[in-house]
Amino acid sequence: MFLLNLKGNSMLVLRRVIGEEIIITVGDEKIVVKLVDTIGVNHARLGFTASRNVRIDRKEIHDAIMETGFNPEAKPELKTVVRIGERLPGELMRRKPQ
């Protein structure tokens, strides 16, 4: 374990092996981060456990939401969800709604 100082903020750096967890507590909320798998040298697969009211996004998704002013709490219309689904890979997602 060690601390890095980046742009005035400190970053705690931890080493974990597959199956080990880190717990983040903010107020009454708890987020459990588990190292699920490693892929080669530079990739890790993480699992997150948190209550439904805790939003967890990849940084690029979070940045896009902040940039566009998109309201993450709003529920999209079904047509929007279907259009997004049509762009996803996989036979199930290519089926047209009936």
Q: Which tens digit of pLDDT belongs to each residue from 30-56?
A: 999 999 999 998 999 999 999 988 888
Q: What is the pLDDT of residue 93?
A: 46
Which two tokens mark 96? 């047209």
Confidence band, pLDDT 50/70/90 cuts, at residue 94: very low
Q: What is the pLDDT of residue 16?
A: 94
Sign of CA dihedral 71, 76, 82, 85: positive
Taking alpha carbons only, the member of 55, 13, 12, 16 closest to residue 33 is 16
Three-point CA angle 44, 47, 83, nearest 5°? 95
pLDDT at 66 over 90: no
Query: Is the distance from CB of 10 to CB of 4 less than 8 angstroms?
Result: yes
Task: Considering only residues 9 and 94, tell me which one the structure prediction assigns the higher pLDDT.
Answer: 9
Strand-strand pairing, 21-26 and 29-39: antiparallel
Contact residues for 9 (Cβ-Cβ < 8 A; gap 6+): none
Mean confidence (pLDDT) of the chain: 78
Task: Considering only residues 98 and 49, tell me which one the structure prediction assigns the higher pLDDT.
Answer: 49
